[in-house]
Structure 1
Amino acid sequence: MAKTSGLKRTQVQGKKYDLPAEEVEIQKLVKKGLSLDAKLKKIKQELETVKKESISIAERRREGTTTVQLKAVSGSSTITFRETYVCDDQVEEISQEVGSLFDRFFTKKIDFKTSKDLKKFLEGEHAYGLKDPEPVKKLILTHVKKKTTKPNVKIVDMD
Structure 2
Amino acid sequence: MISLPVQDSLFNYRVAGVAILNGKVLMHKTPSDHFWSLPGGRAELFEFSQDTLRREMQEETGMLVQVGKMLWISENFFRYNGIRHHEIGFYFEMEIPDLKDQTDFSGSEGQEELLFKWLDAESLHSIKIYPEFLAAALAQNPLETGHFTSGFTDLDGL
Band of TM-score, shorter chain: under 0.3
Higher relative contact order (CA 8 A, sep 6+): 2
State the TM-score, normalizing by the size of structure 1. 0.19
Q: Work out which of the two has the higher radius of gyration on C-alpha atoms and give 1 or 2.
A: 1
- Considering fraction of residues, name the structure with more strand: 2
- Considering fraction of residues, name the structure with more helix: 1
